[in-house]
Amino acid sequence: MASKPVRNKSKPKFRKGHSASGKKLSRSVAIKVNPSETVVILDFGSQYTQLIARRVREHKVFSVILPYHSALETIQSYKPGALIMTGGPANVYDAKAPLPDPRIFDLGIPVLGICYGLQVIGHLLKGGAVEKSERREYGHAKIQIARGQDLFRNFPAETDCWMSHGDKLSKVPDGFEILAHTSSAPIAAVGHRAKRVYGVQFHPEVVHTPLGKEIFRNFLFEISGFRGTWTPQSFIENTVREIREVVGNGRVVLGMSGGVDSSTAAVLIHKAIGDRQTCIFVNNGLLRLGEAERVLETFRDRLKLNLHYVNAEALFLKALKGVTDPEKKRKIIGRLFIKVFEKEARKIGKVAYLAQGTLYPDVIESVSVHGGPTSTIKSHHNVGGLPKKMKLKLLEPFRMLFKDEVREIGRELGVPVEFIRRQPFPGPGLAVRILGAVDKKRLELLRKADWVVIDEIKKAGWYEKLWQSFAVLLPVRSVGVMGDERTYDYATAIRAVHSNDGMTADWAKLPPEVLGRISNRIINEVRGINRVCYDISSKPPSTIEWE
């Protein structure tokens, strides 16, 4: 297919990160994913890029996200069976427009351009043209399908879609036909059947396009001929083999937090190398009610992992005594954790690898077409973020997975549902949920209140609908009356939020009856708390944790 020469190819501008191929991460050993079918997604800075990758994987086809300016050889090294170009905030005709290597159209594999991706097709291929639109089209639109074939196989004549664009295709490139239109976009979808290049102006990846899933299905199976072989079983089989090969006779150490990522990684690695993996579980005294016991009972006693338990409660509480500044608390906890972990790891003897449950969103090289915010709001301490000076190689079996995929793998490996469906819990634990100084008494109060919150939210069927739900102990005392007695006790705040990734969050509209039950039970069951408030702030401008 003849492509126009690329004009004014922009200089790539992207945040520092790790390449999906793992090249920049010198400490990370490559666990090859080896999927038999791959879609390469070229990212032009869309807010939906990861969603596109997940939509493809939901159809059991592996996908990898690469920056739009990736070299052709890099793209080819993934042996892609198809390419998807994402949306993005730029305009194709701008001097610095982000554009891919035009030879991607000569690879002979199917291409799907979404929104800006469609405009890239119109801009780079002969005969096409993109023009500025008088007005932005944003929101729901009715789309009329010209022919129920190809991308729109088995579609009705009209369906809903989600639009979010300014520019539009004004002329289709040579050999393309118009597949769909809306009342304000005469060219809403195009295709070149022989070359298998397609483009849609709308966003099939978002839920507001109800048949979006079918568009991906048609592109992947009807047009690209994939079979859908990316399954939890195939991942486990392949990764167990890879871990055995990479680790050889070496030993692996893993920091177990009880969260889904570290637990599933531990069980997977155990399957590969058994007791040559040592999991270290540090109880920092800042865990929730019964948490340490449940982790030990599940992973050490039931699943028979080689798990070292360190009770470092006294050490952490001593170091935190009188500390009220949130950042100081985080730093103290982070440093002490590393110290304790290292000391414990030394007891194991010679270890070559540190295993971590790092996920794909942490390693995707993000494209920032217009630049983006980089300032640190909170210096997160992760149980996973471990000692650099230990000079261990990193074993990260989930580097290419999304969280929901790790959950599926965990389920397949027999990790109990309680751990798989777990809401995230911060590394510094309850210390960032006790405002002000942390001590044993306050920890006891918060543990009991928090347990009531989780218990009632689970009973009401809300636990899995929420990103997080927990109690926060406020450094405020207020007057109350219990029976005939005056009380002067602590107040607690309930936090329950919806979120996709913790970056933004909405406060949850919990039913008043559930809030009522939580409040009643906390005040009745937790001596020392006489007031319960509900936090109705979203992120931004608030954060999820109070500290």
Point out which residues bind ligand XMP (CB under 6 A): 330, 377-378, 380-382, 424, 426-428, 468, 502, 539, 543-545
Please indicate whether residue 203 is annotated as part of the active site.
Answer: yes
- Distinct helix (H) and strand (E) counts, the chain: 14, 20
Cα angle: 308, vertex 312, 468; to 5 degrees: 85
Angle between helices 512-525 and 440-459 (to 10 degrees): 150
Nearer to ligand XMP, 300 or 380 (CB): 380
Token representation of residue 525:
């069951």
Percentages of the chain per state (helix, strand, coil), in multiples of 5 = 35, 25, 45
| Candidates 123, 165, 203, 270; catalytic one | 203
Angle between helices 260-273 and 403-413 (to 10 degrees): 50
Q: Please give the helix or strand (H or E) that residue 168 lies within, else none.
A: strand 168-171
Nearer to ligand XMP, 49 or 382 (CB): 382
Question: Residue 297 gets which letter from DSSP?
Answer: I
Q: Please give the helix or strand (H or E) that residue 282 lies within, else none.
A: strand 277-283
Q: How far is the CB of 436 from ligand XMP (least distance, A)?
A: 17
Q: How far is the CB of 311 from ligand XMP (least distance, A)?
A: 21
Distance between CA atoms of 264 and 421, rounded to whole angstroms?
A: 12
For the chain, the farthest-separated pair of C-alpha atoms sits apart, in whole angstroms, at 87
Q: How far is the CB of 543 from ligand XMP (least distance, A)?
A: 3
Residue whose entry in the numeric block shows the structure tokens 């059991």: 60
Nearer to ligand XMP, 306 or 468 (CB): 468
| Candidates 115, 137, 270, 408; catalytic one | 115
For residue 61, which of 227, 215, 204, 207 has the smallest C-alpha distance?
A: 227
Nearer to ligand XMP, 381 or 407 (CB): 381
- Whether 395 and 352 have beta carbons less than 8 Å apart is answered as no
Q: How far is the CB of 383 from ligand XMP (least distance, A)?
A: 7
Nearer to ligand XMP, 366 or 537 (CB): 537
Strand partners, 312: none
Nearer to ligand XMP, 119 or 262 (CB): 262
Please indicate whether residue 115 is annotated as part of the active site.
Answer: yes
Nearer to ligand XMP, 397 or 426 (CB): 426
Q: Phi/psi zone of residue 38: left (φ > 0), alpha (ψ -120 to 50 degrees), beta?
A: beta
Nearer to ligand XMP, 12 or 475 (CB): 475
Q: How far is the CB of 494 from ligand XMP (least distance, A)?
A: 15
Q: Please give the helix or strand (H or E) that residue 264 lies within, else none.
A: helix 260-273
- Whether 182 and 158 have beta carbons less than 8 Å apart is answered as no
For residue 501, count other CB atoms closer than 10 A to its CB. Answer: 11
Token representation of residue 396:
């990260």
- Whether 471 and 434 have beta carbons less than 8 Å apart is answered as no
HEC assignment per residue over 448-485:
HHHHHHHHHHHHCCCHHHCCEEEEEEEEEEEEEEECCE
| Candidates 37, 137, 205, 547; catalytic one | 205
DSSP code string of 51-78: HHHHHHHHTT-EEEEEETT--HHHHHHT
Q: How far is the CB of 335 from ligand XMP (least distance, A)?
A: 13
Q: How far is the CB of 382 from ligand XMP (least distance, A)?
A: 4
Nearer to ligand XMP, 193 or 421 (CB): 421
Distance between CA atoms of 150 and 195, rounded to whole angstroms?
A: 12
Burial zone of 271 (CB within 10 Å; 0-12 exposed, 13-18 middle, 19+ buried): middle
Please indicate whether residue 161 is annotated as part of the active site.
Answer: no
Catalytic residues: 115, 203, 205
